[in-house]
Structure 1
Amino acid sequence: MTGEYRRWRAVGLLAAALLMVLGAGQTWHVVAQQAGVTNYVYQTQVTALELTLENATARITPSPDGAVTVNQIDHWTLSRPRITRELAGTVLKIAMHCPGVVPIGAMGCAANFDIRVPPTAAVRVKGSSTDTSISGLSGDLNLSATSGSFQLADVSGRLTAQVTSGSVTGSGIASAEASARVTSGSADLTFSAAPHLLTMAAASGSVRAELPRGTGYRLAVAIGSGGRDIDSALENPSSTSTITASADSGSVTLKRSGG
């Protein structure tokens, strides 16, 4: 048996073994994928919601009667997501992570949350591989994710959002103070009311804001390598309202609604 033959035989055996492992993995996924549904109702006063999530989606909307409801769907193949809930005073804390010391331990592990809170509740989210949507709330929002996205609609509390890799998007924003920062990705906010203080920044990516007509701002715009599209009608050096927007590598767009 020649050396070349042995090498090609080894390559063939390795490829066959890999195909068997992948095929078995797909079969196991189909056979063993599981799901569980859980619902909770909190009738006591809740003023804030804190989420710490991994491999999850969350939808947060206002409750019509002031009660807090949590509809939760778990997905898993080998290990079920570990989820804890704690009511600390008037703060509801929910934490979710996927167990397993090796990646295969978390295979197929995920969770979906549909949560209703009082319209004035503050929300804090800390996520990893997490997509979160929030609408109709007037409480402060403090949002961060290493990877994922935040989709916002019709919110009016103080807004702070930071994403390492992903996006922050919003429509109908009426926050007097708003900050959206991304390391790699995009931030795009459309305001229904003029903000007093707006900060948007991207290290690698784009930032965009659409603002109501009739209000001018002190503008501070910084671009590294990229483009800028600034509506000159937004600039008023004597204004008490400020917009700071920057992109190290990417673009900055500031425009008026309907413009």
Structure 2
Amino acid sequence: TPMRQAWDEKQMEYRFISRFIWGMLRRWDVETANRPQKYIAISETVAARVKQRYKHDSTILYPPVDTAFFTAPDSEPLTPRGKEYFLVVSRLVPYKKVDLVVETFRNLPFNLKIVGSGRQENKLKKIAQDSGNMEFLGEVSPEKLRSLYYNCQAVICAQEEDFGIVAAEAQVCGKPVIAFARGGITEIITDKETGVLFREQSTASLSEAVHKTLATSFNPDIIREKSTARFSRNQFKEKLSVLLKQLIIP
């Protein structure tokens, strides 16, 4: 994807760098972008950015999910009634908008578990400390993550993503995803069938999406089947093999 810090001013974390420097970075980025023979984009969203910034077409190849691992039976007991929770799996950095989720759940009567670490961790814990319904788990093992997916009510992805591997993993586990309705994640989720999309990055919009999720009856088998068919490693290997052969034998 085009260098986010150089092209997307809304996402710039280093605003103190002058526009002159950003201009130089953009020119360098475009010059470098003209070197590849072919572009492979991880989503239609990224392909559109490549076309806009670099004027090149791309072939879409979605990243793979270890479907064999995430569809294996979960050995941990089901979450007891009253202990149900929503789940965030993310780096704890400003861009990921985990603060939006934490702020939203301060005013909701539902539990939230957060997997991940990052420089915002202490800030997020301070925001959540008086609520009593949020738990920070840090980094967890793959087996623990799978169990958390299986036992949650839904996974929440609050930021615009190039693709959204967490959403794909959750869907392979048969779980609905609540996601911001922009970016590659909209290519993973079918609204009201495999998850719920919210239109604004606000506590009101996210809160409404949480309530919609609880009021919707999702079919785990349909969610799982749709994602497994699209994001398996075998599917990825087959498509990548075809693309590489096209490069070697034009």
| Higher percent of residues as helix | 2
Structure with greater proportional strand content: 1
TM-score range (shorter-chain normalised) is: under 0.3
Q: What is the TM-score normalised by the length of structure 2? A: 0.25
Q: Which has the larger radius of gyration?
A: 1
User: Larger relative contact order (C-alpha < 8 A, sep ≥ 6)?
Assistant: 2
TM-score normalised by the chain length of structure 1: 0.25
